[in-house]
Amino acid sequence: MSFENQTAIADVESVFQLVEAVVTKPRLKVQIGHDTDIGGNRDNQDRYSIITLPEHDVCAISVADGHCAETGHFVADITKKSLEELLEKRITELIENPVAFLEFCCDYIHEQIRLGLIEIMEKNGCKIKVDESGVLLKNKHELLGWNELKGGTTFSIIVLIGRKIYMANVGDSSGLLCCKHPILKTSHIKYEKDAANPTKEVCSEDLDNSPSTYIELTRDHSPESIEEYIRMRAFKCSDENPNHAELLCVYDNQ
């Protein structure tokens, strides 16, 4: 995201001006654009949401990238709808405690995805049950066995409240803070928490703090991230090999 005037934006969604809370502070003009690429899928499973609430000095931008041909687009749709409904009903909670709200937001949407998939699959003639680990299982025919219902989505949300940016993500849809000149430093960013690893701490002194034109605000939650694989392994190791996570990860190379 950049607050500089932009000359080339794929599709401009909206241009608005945040309310000036203090007369002596300059106003922020925000211009928002979006673009998408279907890639190699039959259906485009990318979804975005832009919610502007100038009366609250709030702008929320999110991206959901669904995966799995059968359910990915359903999951991304549910994510978009759930977020918009949540912000409409509980905007005050976001303003009062953004960090707690964003953590709650991810948990809430996760549950709405579970409930939504059960409803959709049952309408499509499948039987659905939940195993002891909370995994959804489906059965298309009584003569067939139960199989795991696959699918999901990444979810990244940027919230601008007044003159502060808050960023949360699940998965590997990246969020970047950019500018034209190399003036940004990692020390400008305050690490709040990792909901999956509450004891984790990140010190800006340990990171590269040289001036740059961009800062990556997200950390990928993907097996391609060594840190994430170690977390998965520590969370639940394989019974056959304690050096591997129970979740199977397939890679192109070693």
pLDDT tens for 179-227 read 899 999 888 888 888 887 777 777 666 677 889 999 888 888 887 888 8
Among left, alpha and beta (phi > 0; psi -120 to 50; other), residue 171 is: left
Please enumerate in sequence order all residues whose Cβ is within 8 A of that of 58, keeping only pairs 6 or more positions apart, or say none.
51, 52, 91, 94, 95, 159, 160, 161
Encoded amino acid at 232, one letter: M
Structural domains of the chain sorted by starting position, each given as residue range(s) with its CATH number in brackets: 11-219 (3.60.40), 222-254 (no CATH)
Query: What percent of the chain is predicted at pLDDT more than 70?
Result: 86
Question: Could you tell me if 109 and 155 are in contact, meaning their C-beta atoms sit under 8 angstroms apart?
Answer: yes
**Radius of gyration of the chain from its Cα atoms, rounded to whole angstroms:** 20
pLDDT (tens digit, 9 = 90+) per residue, 105-148? Answer: 999 999 999 999 999 999 999 999 988 878 899 998 877 789 88
pLDDT (tens digit, 9 = 90+) per residue, 59-80? Answer: 999 999 998 888 999 999 999 9
Question: What is the pTM for the complete model shown?
Answer: 0.79
Question: Could you tell me if 225 and 249 are in contact, meaning their C-beta atoms sit under 8 angstroms apart?
Answer: no
Residue 69: what pLDDT?
A: 87
The position carrying tokens 């919230």 is 159
